[in-house]
Amino acid sequence: MDTQLVIRAQRGDKGAYGLIATEIAVRFLAVARRILRDIDIAEDATQQALLAIWQHLPQLRDPARFEAWSYRLLVRACYAEGRAERQWTPPFRVVPPIKERASDDDLSSVVDRDELERGFRRLSIDHRTVVVLHHYLDLPLDRVADIVGIPVGTAHSRLHHAMRGLRAALDADSRPPVREEVAQ
Amino acid sequence: MTAERDMTRVVRSWLRTDEHESAARVLDNVLAALDTTPQRRPPILPAWRISERMNRYVKIVVAAAAVLILAVFVYNQLPGRGSIGGPGSSPSPSPTRTLAPETFPQGALTIGRHGMDIAGKRLTFDVPIEGWTADAPYFLGYGSIGPEGFAAIWWTSDAPVGMFSDPCAQTEAPEVGHNRAELAAAVVGIPGLEEVVAPTDVTVGGKPATTVAVRMPDPLPCPKDQFYLWHATSADEGRFATDAGFIIYTWIIDVDGTLVWVDWETSAEPGSQPVAQIQALMDSIQFE
C-alpha cells in the first residue's frame, strides 16, 4: 500500500481513501467470506471494516503498518458480524462469469469440497480466522497472532486444532459404512 | 508428515476455489457513507505541562495555538471538507444493479392497501398485520426468513426468461417459451431442486397464473450465492439460493400478455401459517 496515500487519507482526503478502499475491498471480501462462509455477512463485515478503517485512520501511528492494522479491523468486523443476528438480504445480483474450478489434482472431488465445507463450518470463528489468514493469505503465524491479538502459541494451537477437525471431516466421509452385528 | 502436507495442500486449494467476489456493492456503500462518517482524531494530549515558571507570553502563544488546532479540527469535520493537501482523485463509480427504480413501497408497511409497479403493471395488495417491510425496488418480507418468516423477490423490470442447467457452474439452460407453462416446467427441471408443489394453474387478481414450489438441496453443492436458479434477459441478473433446504414459492402471472413474476422464499412447508400468509397476500392482489 502506498504510504503517501495512507497519509493523505489520514488527513481526511476522501479521494485518497477511495483509492485505498478500491484496492483492498475485493481482498477483504474474499477473506471475510472465507471466514464467515456467507456472502451476505461477509459483505456486511467488509463494509463495516472499510468504514472503521476510515474512521480510525488518523489514530494509526505508523502508516507503514497499514496492512496489518487494517486486517485487524477486518477480523474484528468479522467477529462482530458473525455473532450478530441476521436480517435476510435478497439473493439477487449480476451473474458472475463462469468460474474456474480446481483441478482434480488439487481437490479430488465434489465430495471433498462438501466435506471440507461442513467441517469448516463446524469450526469456531476463532479457528476459521487463523486457517484463512495463514493458508489463504499466506501470512506467517506470528503475523496472524498479531492481527488476531493472541499469543503466537495460541495461533499454532488453533491452527493445529482446525486442521485436525478438517482432516476428521474428510476421514469420516471416506470411512466405509459400519455393518451392524446381528445378535445370534 | 506427508499426510499433513497433503492436508495443507487440500485446504489451501479449497480456500482458493470460487474466487469471484465482486466488491462493487460494498464499495458503493462505503464511498457513499464517507461524507457522513467523520474521522476520529486522536485526542490532543499535552506531552508536557506548562511550567509554573513559564512566562505569560509563552502561555498566551500556547493557548492561541491550541485554539487554532481545535478550529482546524472542527473545520475538517464539517461535511464536504476534503484533505489539507487538496482534493484527491475519486475512484470511478462501480457498476450497480440495473433494475429500474419502479414505484415500490419502502420501509415498514402499515396495515392496509399498498401498491407497486411490476414489469410496467400496477398492482395493489393488502397488508393484514404489522411486521411487513419493503425495500425498493424488489423486496417484500415479513420477519426474518426461516421457519416463521418469509420474503419475496418481485422482478420489477421484467420476468425471468431462462434457467440455469448447472446452477453451480452458472451454465444457462436452452431457452424455453416465454409463457407461464414452459417457465414453470423449467423451474422444476433445474437439476438438484426438489419439486414441492407441481406447476398449478391458478388466478391472481383475476389474471391467469401458474404457481410452483421447489426446495433447494441440503447441503447445497456449492456456496449458496453461486447456486444460480433463473435469470433475466441475457443472464445479466440472476437469482441464487438463499439457503440450503429453503423452499421457493413462485407465481408467474400473465397480465394481458406481460408476465409478472414473484418468488417467495421461506423454510416453511406448504400448509403452514407463513405459507398461508403468503397465499393471503397473493389472493388480495388486484391489477389496475
Using one digit for the tens of pLDDT, what is the confidence trace for B199-240?
A: 999 999 999 999 999 999 998 888 787 888 998 875 467 888
Mean pLDDT for the stretch of residues A10-20: 92
| pLDDT mean across residues, chain A | 81
Q: How confident is the model at residue B111 (pLDDT cuts 50, 70, 90)?
A: very high
For A78, A87, A117, A127, A132, the CA distances from A84, given in Å and listed in that order, are 10, 9, 21, 18, 21
Largest CA distance in chain A: 82
Query: Is the pLDDT score of B115 beyond 50?
Result: yes
Other C-beta atoms within 10 Å of B57: how many?
8
Cβ separation A17–B238 shorter than 8 A: no
Over the stretch A124-134, which tens digit does the pLDDT of each residue have?
889 999 999 99
Q: How confident is the model at residue A45 (pLDDT cuts 50, 70, 90)?
A: very high
B37 vs A contacts (CB less than 8 Å): 51, 54-55
pLDDT at A7: 93
Residue in B23, B83, B151 closest to A12 by CB:
B83
Query: Is the pLDDT score of B13 beyond 50?
Result: yes
φ, ψ for residue A67, nearest 5 deg: -60, -55
Q: How confident is the model at residue A143 (pLDDT cuts 50, 70, 90)?
A: very high
pLDDT at A13: 92
| Cα angle A48-A35-A60, degrees, rounded to a multiple of 5 | 45
Q: How confident is the model at residue B194 (pLDDT cuts 50, 70, 90)?
A: very high
* Residue corresponding to grid cell 489463504: A136
pLDDT at B175: 84
Cβ separation A8–B221 shorter than 8 A: no
Q: How confident is the model at residue B34 (pLDDT cuts 50, 70, 90)?
A: confident
Higher pLDDT, A116 or A105: A116
Query: Is the pLDDT score of B94 beyond 50?
Result: no
B85 vs A contacts (CB less than 8 Å): 8, 11, 13
B236 vs A contacts (CB less than 8 Å): 94-95
pLDDT at B284: 96
pLDDT at B241: 87
Residue in A34, A46, A102 closest to B13 by CB:
A102
Residue in B8, B40, B237 closest to A56 by CB:
B40
Percent of chain B with pLDDT over 70: 75
| pLDDT mean across residues, chain B | 79
Q: How confident is the model at residue A87 (pLDDT cuts 50, 70, 90)?
A: low
Most confident of A160-174, B79-93, B155-169, B221-235: B155-169
pLDDT at B25: 84
Most confident of B1-15, B162-176, B204-218: B204-218
State the Rg of chain A over Cα: 20
pLDDT at B97: 38
Residue B147 distance to chain A (closest CA, Å) = 13
Q: Tell me if chain B has a CB within 8 Å of the CB of A22.
A: yes
Over the stretch B256-285, which tens digit does the pLDDT of each residue have?
999 999 999 998 899 999 999 999 999 999
Residue A180 distance to chain B (closest CA, Å) = 27
Cβ separation B13–A116 shorter than 8 A: no
Distance CA A67, CA B246 (A): 39
Q: How confident is the model at residue B66 (pLDDT cuts 50, 70, 90)?
A: low
| B207-215 and B194-204 beta bridge pairing | antiparallel
Distance CA B276, CA B266 (A): 12
Mean pLDDT for the stretch of residues B92-107: 52
When scoring A55, A94, A136 by the number of chain B Cβ atoms within 10 A, the one with the most, hence best to mutate, is: A94
Query: Is the pLDDT score of B57 beyond 90?
Result: no
| B171-172 and B162-166 beta bridge pairing | antiparallel
Other C-beta atoms within 10 Å of B252: how many?
26
pLDDT at B67: 61
Residue in B20, B29, B265 closest to A47 by CB:
B29
Mean pLDDT for the stretch of residues A66-83: 90
Residues 32-71 of A with CB under 8 A from B: 33-34, 37-40, 42-43, 46-47, 50-51, 54-59
Mean pLDDT for the stretch of residues B111-131: 90
Sheet harboring B139-142: ordered strands across? Answer: B107-108, B132-135, B139-142, B150-154, B258-266, B247-255, B207-215, B194-204
